[in-house]
Structures are given as C-alpha cells and as structure tokens.
Amino acid sequence: MGSNAHEIGVIGTGIMGAGVAEVAAAAGFSVIVKGRSQASADAALAIIEKSMARQVKKEKRTADEATALLSRVRCTTSYDELATANIVIESVAENMEIKREIFAELDRVCAPDTVLATNTSTLPVAELAFATSRPGQVCGIHFFNPATLMELVEVVVPDATTEETVVRATAFVTDCGKTPVRVKDEAGFVVNALLFPYLNNAVRMADAGTASAAGIDIAMQGGCNMPMGPLALLDLIGLDTAVSILGTLAKAFAEPNYEPVPLLTKMVDNGHLGRKSGQGFFNYGD
C-alpha cells in the first residue's frame, strides 16, 4: 500500500471510532481499537460485526470477506498495545483536555516513527501536536460521518507538521479508498466551517416555529436537493458533538452565527443527543 503502513490504532469506540476502524480493516490494515473499558471496546466490535452482517445480507460483501475483515480488528484497553502501530487515529469526545492527555500518552507508548493523528472536527491540531515531543508527526485525519460511506477525508496540516507526515497520512487516506483534501489547521477546516452556521440556523428556525422539524428537513431536501435535512444531520452527528464544534467555531471566529442556539444546548442538557441517545429532533426508538 502507498502508505507503507500495516497496523492502524484507533482510540475511541463511539460513532467515529468504530467507523474508522471498519474503513481501515476493509482496506486491509490490521486495526487495534483502544477503548476506555472492555465493554466499550466490545461495543465497537459489535457495531462492526453488525455492519458486516448487514453488508453480507445486502450482498455487498461475501461471508468470507466479512470474516476476514473482522479477523483484522482487535480490541484492547491498554495503550501499550499501540506500540507497533504505524498510524494512530484518536477519535474520542470533542474535548481538548481529554485529547491532550491521550496525545501525551500516545507519545509515550508509540514507536518513534508512528504518525499520531486526530479525527477532531474543529479543535486546533497544533495544540495536540505540542502535547507530544514529536509535533512534526502529528496531523488531522478528519473522516466524515458515516465514515464507511463518506468519500472525503480532510488531512489537516498544522505549521509544524513535516511533509513526510502529510505524505504518509494522505497515502493512508487513499489506501482507504477515500478522497483526501489538504487543509490548513483553521477551526472547522473547510467542511464544518461552512456547514455549521447552516445547521445552527436550522435549529434557530425550528425554535422560532417557522416550520416543523420535519418541514424544515423536507424543505431543504426538496428545495436544495440535500440528501438529508439539517436537523436529521444534526441527530446523526450527535447534538453534544455539534455544541462542542459550534463552541470552538464561535471562539475562533467571534461570529454570532456560530454561537450554539440555546435550544441545542438545552436538548443536550436534557440528554437528547440525537440518534445515539434515541431522541434528538426526531425519535429513534424501536
């Protein structure tokens, strides 16, 4: 493979951690998924197993291919097992303090030539780079949700990142069958900086009662040919993640359109996080 990588570490077992692990395993890499607990690591594996069962049923993969893919994924709760990974992609909650601690730990355990990447949506990658002793080997590898389906990956490049790191990260993205776009380390990179004011305004509109949540989504799908309405997209992203992203963008750009609309924050406070909690702008109960 162009990246010369064979083992990929993934930190985080949520929506994106499981998705990135599946993408890398599907591309033929050995994948180690690090969870905080055995239960969360097992849950990530269960998500990938469910995805395989679905793909076999839809005849997108043979049963043998699914078994082979699953055999390339193993789970751990120990950082030490990441020592042999060529590239590690951190994909835990969008919180700088948590991520900084993880990067310091990765710096301690990973081989000197391991590339340390983050899947952050908006946080400054440079800050994570300087939590390590190898800022030249840190970059963003920003997948989109769902990682298995979305073609784009932003390769986020802080000033300190070496060209060799960019080449290795970009080759990994291409090996995964995705389209890389190189982006400067600016809050929100390209996609989220443009997308989130739109999503935030859709919440404002729902709150004002301009149309129902379903009506707003139907309008944007039918009127702008969007594959998904803005409120269903927020439910898919996770409303807690969306609030974190908007908070970072608001700080970076001092622009009122990025300030999370109070309704969004209130929904998070009430535990309505979107699909992952079963309730957001829409209900995902059984």
Residue with CB nearest ligand NAD?
14
Q: Give the β-pairing of 152-157 and 138-143.
A: antiparallel
CA nearest 205: which of 256, 214, 191? 214
Tell which one of 5, 32, 92, 220 touches ligand NAD (CB under 6 A): 92
Q: Does 148 bind ligand NAD (CB under 6 A)?
A: no
Does residue 17 belong to the site contacting ligand NAD (CB under 6 A)? Answer: yes
Question: What string of DSSP letters covers 185-235?
Answer: S-TTTTHHHHHHHHHHHHHHHHHHTSS-HHHHHHHHHHHH--SS-HHHHHH
Report the residue number, 162 or 277, with the smaller CB distance to ligand NAD.
277
Per-residue contact track with ligand NAD, 32 to 71, x per CB under 6 A?
A: ----x---x-------------------------------
> Which residue in 134, 92, 95 sits closest to 115, CA to CA?
134
Q: Are 220 and 213 in contact (CB under 8 A)?
A: no
Among 3, 7, 10, 13, binds ligand NAD (CB under 6 A): 13
Q: Which is nearer to ligand NAD, 34 or 61 (CB)?
A: 34
Strands lying side by side in the sheet with 30-34: 73-76, 30-34, 7-11, 87-90, 115-118, 138-143, 152-157, 179-184
- Does position 233 interact with ligand NAD (CB under 6 A)? The reply is no
Burial class (CB in 10 A: 0-12, 13-18, 19+), 176: buried
For the question of residue 78 being annotated catalytic, the response is no
In the DSSP assignment, the letter for residue 71 is H
**Applying CB under 6 A, does 277 fall inside the site for ligand NAD?**
no
| C-alpha count within 13 angstroms, C-beta hemisphere, residue 105 | 15
Does residue 86 have an active-site annotation? Answer: no
Of 3, 91, 192, 244, the catalytic one is 192
Q: How far is the CB of 7 from ligand NAD (least distance, A)?
A: 20
Q: Which of 86, 114, 119, 265 binds ligand NAD (CB under 6 A)?
A: 119
SS3 for 55?
helix
Q: Which of 154, 200, 244, 272 is catalytic?
A: 154
Closest of 191, 187, 188 to residue 179, by C-alpha? 191
Q: Give yes or no for a contact between 24 and 7, defined as CB atoms under 8 angstroms apart.
A: no
**Which range of residues in 7-15, 21-29, 103-111, 197-205 is near ligand NAD by CB under 6 A?**
7-15
Asked if 238 touches ligand NAD (CB under 6 A), the answer is yes
Residue from 7, 8, 10, 14 touching ligand NAD (CB under 6 A): that is: 14
- Note if 192 is an active site residue: yes
- If binding means CB under 6 A, how many residues of this protein chain bind ligand NAD? 23
Q: Is 121 in the site for ligand NAD (CB under 6 A)?
A: yes
Beta strand 30-34 with 73-76: parallel, antiparallel or unpaired?
parallel
Residues that bind ligand NAD (CB under 6 A): 12-17, 36, 40, 91-94, 98, 119-121, 143-145, 237-238, 241, 276
Q: Show which residues are catalytic.
A: 121, 142, 154, 192
